[in-house]
Amino acid sequence: MVKNVEKTEKDLKRLFPEEKWNKLHLQIIFYGREFCPARGHKLDFCIICTKYRRREGFK
């Protein structure tokens, strides 16, 4: 799990300029709360999950 978190952070930092990191961090949190919460998740409501989901691993 830790490697996935660290890899994700590293990948995102490569994609976005450093001056946008703080704002982007908050945007990702708020997006997750609104469209992709851990509880009561509606798979088709999240644009990211709908587009990039794998059939296995999602209910």
How far is it, in rounded angstroms, from Cα 49 to Cα 33? 14
How far is it, in rounded angstroms, from Cα 21 to Cα 11? 12
pLDDT score at 48? 82
pLDDT score at 42? 78
Q: Are 36 and 48 in contact (CB under 8 A)?
A: yes
| Residue 24 scores a pLDDT above 90 | yes
pLDDT score at 55? 55
Tokens of 56: 């296995």
Tokens of 14: 């490569």
